[in-house]
Copies of this chain bind each other. A is one copy, B any other.
Amino acid sequence: MMQWKIQPVIDGLQQARHDWREQQHRIKEFGGRELPSKEVLKSILDSLCGILFPMRLGPSDLRQETEDYYIAYTLDHVLTELYNQVKLTLKYEKKREYNRNNAHSREPLEHPIYDQQDTLAKIIVQDFANTLPDIRRLLDADVSAAYQGDPAAHSVDEVLLCYPGILAIIHHRIAHQLYASVPLLSRVISEIAHSATGIDIHPGAKIGSGFFIDHGTGVVIGETCVIGQRVRIYQAVTLGAKRFEVDEQGSLKKDYARHPIVEDDVVIYAGATILGRITIGQGSTIGGNVWLTHSVPAGSSVSQPPSQSYIKTEV
């Protein structure tokens, strides 16, 4: 058993935290941590996957005869779990706003009042629950698109079990539904999918039906993207912002449209980088590794210049 000199480390960390909080105007923060939990949200998402696709992603001993029982019991449970996470997130936002408003106060602070958060959370969760059947129908179209769009897919079941693109879009359609009301929580959901699949879809992105991402590692879809129906994209495609606007204080402007619009039936091949609020016209094909920062009309085909090859005279 070792004996460590830890007091200077504790003091040093305390000072570092103090400096940071002063810089962030948080010195007077009180109370506990009101933040959504990644572990709890992971388990919520696992349950929602089972609710949406009970015979494929639900418990292994489920039978079709008892699907509805399973769904009813699990749904009731998972909505309550989600409700708790939504409440935490709403309280976090409330406390953050409150801390910001009182940053320069010298008085000891009261705790912010949380009276509306419970009611609001209840509404958010019930609204979310109501959209689950529509989410399932959207995802069915996504599964069909994957099956029909990949020669390597032998069944829709294989798509549901093995395709990271499907896992990502299930998480996205759930996160997107929650984005307007609890953006921080929806970001945690999208990062759960990102970590598992390498596919990074911002929950703010609007994505039409029949969407298919193949392989997917390295795909990035930005916050203000608008994607039409039956779009297909491959690994390492970026739909990003080109440059960031700054306001008069020199700070980044936030929340303005800065990512591409991709119209219906577009295909974007691996490694293409598409930046800025441009429009990829309907039915266009964007080739692999393309670098694109301007709009292209419907029916365009974009490819990168051919690479040079020659016979090596020495290895």
Contact = CB atoms under 8 A, between A and B. Distances in A.
A233 to B, nearest CB: 13
Interface string A83-124: 100000000100010000000000000000000000000100
A13 interface: yes
A315 B37 contact: no
Range of interface residues on A (Cβ < 8 Å): 35 or more
Interface string A199-221: 01010100000000001011110
Given A151-B252, A222-B152, A73 B75 contact: no
**Assembly stoichiometry (copies):** 6
A10 B75 contact: yes
A133 B179 CA distance: 36
B161 A64 contact: no
Contacts of A19: 137, 140
B158 A184 contact: yes
Given A4-B125, A238-B288, 11 more contacts: A13-B71, A16-B133, A30-B64, A35-B161, A61-B80, A153-B254, A158-B187, A275-B288, A284-B312, A287-B307, A292-B309
Q: Which 7 pairs of residues, A with B, have the shortest CB-CB distance?
A: A12-B133, A1-B32, A69-B72, A302-B309, A69-B73, A290-B307, A273-B288
